[in-house]
Amino acid sequence: MEANAGGRDLIFLDECGFAPTLPTGYTWSRIGERAVVPREDTKNRRVNVVGAEIVGTRPDLVWQRTSGKIDAGMLLEFVLVRLAGLGGGAAVLELAADGLGVDVMPVWERRRPCTVVLDNASAHVAKAFKGRRRQLKKIGVDLFYLPPYSPELNDIELVWRQAKYQDYPQRTQTSIDAIGEAVDRAMTRQRDRIRQQSATNFTQAA
């Protein structure tokens, strides 16, 4: 309710992996011809994406991809820079949150406070990320952890599913760069859809 009223942003955060060959649920072929589905080797050729769906008066979708592992350090930088807008990231978090001492007001705060909803993945609960929870709160970023084994409560799961099965241009990619480009196209379509739905709802409300 607070997010819809504009007093706070609600943000659903999660990670997803994209392999060179994504699962094919169904396909077509001419009568009498065998359907052939290309397949690429997946070893060391995976693109991982951390994404955040922003819910509220200005719905949006932001993401960052990497060919490496998404660890607590990368997650913290993503939250600070892409979601909180703190340009210096973790390097300036302590100063931004604590000012001249742990009990004084922060010297920097997010324009509108936000609640980040996330599960209990290892990067999410690692000390390098969750251990900064108090400082994150001081700059306007609250962390809300979902109960274990409840992915259905994280709205961004629908974004991942649609990106993989509806907006991914083709099921097989031949290189890391090709996977990354395909991921960006799929996520851009999802982002545009989310923004368009927001604009439509605003027009109807007006």
Say whether 10 sits in a helix, a strand or coil.
strand
For the stretch 109-135, pLDDT in tens is 898 999 999 999 999 999 999 999 999
Task: Fill in the amino acid letter for 106.
Answer: P
pLDDT of residue 204: 42
Domains of the chain: 9-19+42-198 (3.30.420.10)
Neighbouring residues of 130: CB distance < 8 A, sequence distance ≥ 6: 72, 124, 143
pTM: 0.84
For position 153, what pLDDT does the model report? 95
For the four alpha carbons of 24, 30, 32 and 36, in that order, the dihedral sign comes to: negative
pLDDT score of 2: 61
d(CA 106, CA 101): 9
SS3 label, residue 49: strand
pLDDT value for 108: 83
pLDDT (0 to 100) of residue 203: 39
Say if residues 56 and 3 touch (Cβ distance below 8 Å). Answer: yes
In tens, the pLDDT along 172-190 reads: 888 899 999 999 999 999 9
Do 102 and 135 touch, CB atoms closer than 8 A? no
Amino acid at 152: E
Grouped pLDDT means (10 residues each) for the chain, 206 residues: 74 94 76 80 83 93 96 98 94 82 66 95 97 95 96 95 87 88 95 81 42
